[in-house]
């Protein structure tokens, strides 16, 4: 980029910031946001426990901060160019040697800087407020340590490889077909899905004296880490007050005789079992197998493990501060997309209309999430089997077909924007990695904002800026 391009963009960005300051937008946000964060952190109750309180405090204060900043950014964006066209200031810019993309970028960078500044203020406020809250509560040393080891931390979560039941499904399907037990109105695909679900469910039940094995792939960078703990959710389908007992082993592969780690469990039912694992256990391992043997003699002590959720390795990778910085960076990327959307709609439409359109786009983005779920084939099957007595489903009509087509396109547009639930993660001490952050920067900051920027500046360059007199 030429230096004079940068100079012009900087001039417009600086103008944006000056306007935000002098119109009182920025000072008001800079007071309201920290106030809201302090209020939430100091007053929220959560489930009563210290960890619960801090978790809720982080989650909700960041959530509300994000919401307020999102609304402010979007409305500022929607007003920006549209109002400048109506108030005619843009005419004086357009007759200077300034490209339309420089105007767009200037506005966008201006708000990026404003948001970055606000996020720094909010991050510092949140850190201070949480620190104050933790220290003002007369917590025991162990309770504080627990907070710092579980919530105020960034831990990488490794979950087991999902059980592969494809082969078993095939075998079963063949057998069922041979015996003619499949209902005539069910397709092979539907039957497959059903069998799949049934088998996975069966595998998650562990009867007394039975075993359950999980395999995990350990990322290369992890095997040297110091603090590793294993978390196991022990659920029993029956209400039985007697404790659960069993043996937990970690071995290098499925058949290894000598386990790397072994521990006995004696725990109340429906609790989470957490055990620290010596760091040497994972050294230079690519795969490990975790085995739980249900040691309860009691017949009623059958355990259920929710697939994909009941066991995980947590590896300390980062401090809370570093994790918070990355969270803020990802939030900044989202805000950048909102401001890009606002500026682009305001380059196309006049002021209030621009806001409606931008909000409609965001709504579409949010709701397609639910459409993805509704069009999931597994979900359809369930419906179908519930309604055996119902009439045969009609073949989809033209409206449904076009609807589905549009939906599929929308999903393609919005799907990459989804970055996982970062608020859930940061408030549970789960690592938000640099990889996640980089992904957000590339997809949200560069790709989405870039595309919106190209659309916005192109249309702006084609418009008659003096069309309103």
CB of 91 to ligand ATP, least distance (A): 12
Q: Is 138 left (phi over 0), alpha (psi -120 to 50) or beta?
A: left
Check residue 1 for interaction with other proteins (CB under 8 A): no
Mask 384-413, x = binds other proteins (CB under 8 A)?
Answer: ------------------------------
Q: Which is nearer to other proteins, 87 or 166 (CB)?
A: 87
CB of 468 to ligand ATP, least distance (A): 6
Q: Which is nearer to ligand ATP, 442 or 468 (CB)?
A: 468
- Nearest to residue 428, comparing CAs of 55, 62, 169? 55
Check residue 91 for interaction with ligand ATP (CB under 6 A): no
CB of 383 to other proteins, least distance (A): 46
- Nearest to residue 19, comparing CAs of 95, 119, 87, 101? 87
Residue whose pair of structure tokens reads 């408030």 in the numeric block:
427
Q: Which is nearer to other proteins, 10 or 247 (CB)?
A: 10
- Lookup: tokens for 467: 């069309």
CB of 467 to ligand ATP, least distance (A): 5
Q: Binds 11, which of ligand ATP, other proteins, none (CB < 5 to 8 A, cut-off by type)?
A: other proteins
Phi, psi of 438 (to 5 degrees): -60, -40
- Lookup: tokens for 341: 């959307």
Q: Binds 96, which of ligand ATP, other proteins, none (CB < 5 to 8 A, cut-off by type)?
A: other proteins
Residues forming beta bridges with residue 106, ordered by sequence position: none
Q: Binds 141, which of other proteins, ligand ATP, none (CB < 5 to 8 A, cut-off by type)?
A: none
Q: Binds 4, which of ligand ATP, other proteins, none (CB < 5 to 8 A, cut-off by type)?
A: other proteins
Number of residues in contact with ligand ATP under rule CB under 6 A: 3
Tally of CA atoms within 13 A in the half-sphere of 341 that contains its CB: 24
Mask 90-109, x = binds other proteins (CB under 8 A)?
Answer: -xxxxxxxxx----------
CB of 120 to other proteins, least distance (A): 24
Check residue 85 for interaction with ligand ATP (CB under 6 A): no
Check residue 227 for interaction with other proteins (CB under 8 A): no
One of 140, 179, 399, 469 touching ligand ATP (CB under 6 A): 469
Long-range own/partner contacts, residues 122-127 (CB < 8 A, 24 or more apart): 122/33, 122/34, 122/37, 122/65, 122/328, 123/324, 123/325, 123/328, 125/33, 125/34, 125/37, 125/38, 126/37, 126/41, 126/58, 126/61, 126/62, 126/324, 127/321, 127/324
Measured N-to-C along each axis, helices 50-86 and 351-374 cross at an angle, to the nearest 10 degrees, of 140
Stretch that binds ligand ATP, among 202-210, 275-283, 383-391, 461-469 (CB under 6 A): 461-469
Q: Binds 15, which of other proteins, ligand ATP, none (CB < 5 to 8 A, cut-off by type)?
A: other proteins
Instruction: Please identify the residue of the shown chain whose CB is closest to the bound ligand ATP.
Output: 469
Check residue 350 for interaction with other proteins (CB under 8 A): no
Q: Give, for 172, the enclosing helix (H) or strand (E).
A: helix 166-178
Residue whose pair of structure tokens reads 């801090």 in the numeric block:
54
Cα 400 to chain centroid distance, Å, stands at: 30
CB of 463 to ligand ATP, least distance (A): 12
Q: Binds 91, which of ligand ATP, other proteins, none (CB < 5 to 8 A, cut-off by type)?
A: other proteins
Check residue 11 for interaction with other proteins (CB under 8 A): yes
One of 95, 178, 257, 467 touching ligand ATP (CB under 6 A): 467
Q: Give the N- to C-terminal CA distance of the chain in Å, as an integer.
A: 35
Q: Which is nearer to ligand ATP, 258 or 464 (CB)?
A: 464
Sign of the alpha-carbon dihedral angle for 191, 193, 194, 199: positive
Spatial contact of 248 and 260, defined as CB atoms under 8 Å apart: no
- Nearest to residue 65, comparing CAs of 430, 335, 429? 335
Distances (CA, A) of 382 to 106, 185, 193, 370, 393: 52, 14, 9, 17, 14
What is the torsion angle, in degrees rounded to the nearest 10, for the CA atoms of residue 266, residue 268, residue 273 and residue 278?
Answer: -20
Q: Binds 284, which of ligand ATP, other proteins, none (CB < 5 to 8 A, cut-off by type)?
A: none
Check residue 238 for interaction with ligand ATP (CB under 6 A): no
Alpha helices in 87-165 (DSSP H): 89-94, 100-135, 141-150
Q: Which is nearer to ligand ATP, 184 or 469 (CB)?
A: 469
Number of residues in contact with other proteins under rule CB under 8 A: 27
3-state secondary structure at position 370 = helix
Spatial contact of 215 and 160, defined as CB atoms under 8 Å apart: yes
Which residues in 16-75 contact other proteins (CB under 8 A)? Answer: 18-19, 22-23
> Where on the chain is the footprint of other proteins (CB under 8 A)?
4, 7-8, 10-11, 15, 18-19, 22-23, 87-89, 91-99, 461, 464-467
> Where on the chain is the footprint of ligand ATP (CB under 6 A)?
467-469
């Amino acid at each position: 980029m030429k230096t004079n391009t940068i100079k012009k963009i900087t001039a417009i960005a600086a103008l944006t910031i000056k306007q935000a300051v002098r119109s009182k937008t920025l000072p008001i946000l800079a007071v309201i946001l920290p106030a809201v964060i302090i209020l939430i952190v100091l007053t929220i109750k959560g489930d009563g426990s210290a960890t619960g309180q801090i978790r809720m405090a982080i989650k909700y204060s960041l959530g509300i901060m994000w919401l307020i900043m999102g609304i402010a950014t979007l409305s500022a964006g929607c007003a920006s160019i549209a109002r400048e066209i109506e108030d005619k200031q843009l005419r004086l810019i357009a007759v200077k040697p300034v490209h339309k993309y420089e105007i767009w970028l200037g506005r966008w960078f201006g708000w990026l800087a404003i948001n970055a500044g606000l996020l720094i203020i909010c991050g510092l406020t949140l850190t201070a407020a949480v620190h104050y809250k933790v220290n003002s509560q007369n917590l025991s040393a162990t309770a504080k340590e627990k907070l710092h080891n579980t919530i105020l931390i960034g831990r990488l979560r490794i979950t087991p490889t999902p059980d592969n039941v494809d082969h078993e499904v095939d075998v079963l399907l063949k057998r069922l077909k041979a015996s003619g037990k499949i209902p005539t109105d069910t397709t092979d695909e539907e039957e497959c899905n059903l069998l799949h679900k049934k088998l996975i469910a069966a595998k998650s039940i562990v009867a007394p004296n039975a075993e359950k094995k999980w395999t995990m792939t350990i990322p290369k960078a992890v095997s040297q880490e110091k603090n590793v703990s294993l978390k196991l959710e022990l659920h029993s389908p029956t209400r039985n007050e007697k404790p659960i007992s069993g043996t937990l082993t970690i071995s290098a592969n499925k058949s290894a005789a000598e386990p790397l780690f072994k521990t006995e469990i004696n725990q109340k039912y429906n609790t989470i079992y957490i055990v620290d694992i010596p760091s040497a256990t994972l050294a230079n391992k690519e795969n490990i197998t975790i085995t739980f043997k249900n040691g309860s003699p009691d017949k009623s002590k059958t355990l259920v493990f929710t697939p994909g959720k009941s066991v995980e390795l947590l590896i300390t990778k980062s401090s809370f501060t570093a994790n918070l910085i990355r969270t803020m960076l990802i939030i900044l990327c989202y805000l950048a997309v909102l401001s890009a959307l606002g500026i682009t709609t305001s380059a196309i439409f006049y002021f209030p209309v621009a806001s409606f359109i931008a909000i409609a786009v965001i709504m579409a983005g949010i709701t397609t999430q639910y459409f993805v779920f509704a069009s999931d084939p597994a979900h359809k099957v369930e419906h179908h089997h519930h309604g055996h007595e119902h009439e045969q489903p009609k073949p989809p009509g033209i409206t449904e077909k076009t609807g589905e087509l549009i939906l599929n396109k929308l999903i393609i547009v919005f799907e990459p924007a989804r970055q996982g639930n970062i608020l859930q993660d940061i408030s549970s001490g789960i690592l938000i990695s640099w990889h996640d952050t980089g992904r957000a920067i590339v997809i949200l900051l560069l790709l989405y904002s870039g595309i919106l920027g190209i659309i916005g500046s192109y249309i702006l360059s084609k418009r008659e800026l003096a069309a309103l007199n």
